[in-house]
Amino acid sequence: MHELSLAQNLLDIVSAQCLKNGFKEIESINIRIGRASGIMPDALSFAFNAIKTDSAVANKAFLYIEEIPVTGNCKDCNNEFIVEEEYILCCPSCNGSSFVITAGRELDIVDMEVS
């Protein structure tokens, strides 16, 4: 399961960051997941909650997930577009197929609250 290893990575990163800065406990973590990243927020959240109980610093941490829609830029008509779907096959305004995805593939840790 892809999300389980992601959750483990996330937990390792935030735990190391927390201890490095001299804090003992993580209260919450804010992350952003792009719709085109292939990550399912529910599955990630579930996996995170399952493994956090083994962590000394993050066992009470709450994971907040913000979903980022897919944003693209069409080379044919120069249109900047945002879609709610996970995949884009063509530009929504001209149906052209030369476009670049400019947002929606990310998995970013925005910030976290520690004590």
Instruction: Considering the complex, state which of residue 63 and residue 91 has its C-beta at the smaller distance from Zn ion.
Output: 91
Q: Please give the torsion angle defined by the CA atoms of residues 1, 7, 38 and 107, in that order, rounded to the nearest 10 degrees.
A: -160
> Binding Zn ion by CB under 5 A: which of 94, 101, 103, 107?
94
- Shortest distance, position 35 Cβ to Zn ion, whole Å: 19
Instruction: Considering the complex, state which of residue 6 and residue 74 has its C-beta at the smaller distance from Zn ion.
Output: 74
For residue 70, what are the contacts with CB-CB under 8 A and spacing of at least 6?
A: 34, 35, 36, 82, 83, 84, 85, 86, 87, 88, 101, 103, 104
Rounded Cα distance, 92 and 1, in Å: 33
- Shortest distance, position 77 Cβ to Zn ion, whole Å: 3
36 binds Zn ion (CB under 5 A): no
Instruction: Considering the complex, state which of residue 28 and residue 73 has its C-beta at the smaller distance from Zn ion.
Output: 73
Number of residues written out for the chain: 115
74 binds Zn ion (CB under 5 A): yes
Q: Are the beta carbons of 110 and 33 closer than 8 angstroms? A: no
> Binding Zn ion by CB under 5 A: which of 91, 104, 112, 114?
91
Interacting residues with Zn ion (CB under 5 A): 74, 76-77, 79, 91, 93-94, 96
